[in-house]
Amino acid sequence: MTSIAGGTAAELGSAAPVLTDFGGGPFGIYVHVPFCATRCGYCDFNTYTAGELGSSSSPRSWMEALRGELATAASVFGALPGSQPEVSTIFVGGGTPSLLGGDGLAEVLDAVRANFVLADGAEVTTESNPESTSPRFFERIRAAGFTRVSLGMQSAAEHVLRVLDRTHTPGRAVAAAREARDAGFDHVNLDLIYGTPGETDADLDASLDAVLAAGVDHVSAYSLIVEDGTALARRVRRGELPAPDDDVLAARYEQIDTRLTAAGLTWYEVSNWAASDPARCRHNLGYWGGGDWLGAGPGAHSHLGGVRWWNVKHPSRYADRVTQGTLPAAGWESLTPEERYTERVMLTVRLRTGLPLDALNPSGRSAAQRVIADGLATRSGDTMTLTDRGRLLADAVVRDLLT
10-39: pLDDT as tens digits: 555 554 456 766 766 789 999 999 998 888
Helix (H) or strand (E) run with residue 330 in it: strand 329-334
85 DSSP assignment:
P
| pLDDT for res 201 | 96
CA pseudo-torsion sign 246, 251, 256, 261: positive
Give residue 164's identity as a one-letter amino acid code.
L
Are 189 and 220 within 8 A, CB to CB?
Answer: yes
CB 117 within 8 A of CB 50: no
Contact 105, 33 (CB under 8 A): no
Share of the chain above pLDDT 70, in %: 95
CA distances to 260, 367, 368 from 383, rounded to whole Å, are 25, 14, 10
Residue-wise pLDDT tens digits, 176-210: 999 999 999 999 999 999 999 999 999 999 999 99
Q: Which part of the chain is CATH 3.20.20.70?
A: 27-289
The reported pLDDT for the residue numbered 83 is: 72
Radius of gyration of the chain from its Cα atoms, rounded to whole angstroms:
21
Instruction: Identify which of 351, 187, 344, 377 has the alpha carbon closest to the alpha carbon of residue 267.
Output: 351
CA–CA separation, 177 and 234 (whole Å): 33
Closest Cα to residue 78, out of 70, 90, 66, 88? 70
- Mean pLDDT, residues 140-157: 97
All CATH 1.10.10 domain ranges of the chain, comma separated, are 336-402
ω into residue 95 within 30 of 0, thus cis?
yes
Amino acid sitting at position 159: H
Q: How many CA atoms lie within 13 A of 245 on its CB side?
A: 10
Q: What is the DSSP string of 95-144?
A: S-GGGGHHHHHHHHHHHHHHHSPEEEEEEEEEEE-GGG--HHHHHHHHHH
Question: Rounded mean pLDDT of 47-64?
Answer: 86
* HSE value, Cβ hemisphere, 13 Å, CA-based, for 178: 10
Q: In this predicted structure, what is the pLDDT of residue 375?
A: 97
Residue 16: per-residue pLDDT: 47
Q: Which of 149, 30, 139, 145 is nearest to 94 (CA)?
A: 30
Whether this model's pTM surpasses 0.85: yes
**Mean pLDDT of the region 151-174:** 90
- Return the CATH class of domain 27-289: alpha beta
User: Quick check: helix, strand or coil at residue 231?
Assistant: helix
pLDDT at 3: 30
What kind of fold does domain 336-402 have according to CATH? Arc Repressor Mutant, subunit A (1.10.10)
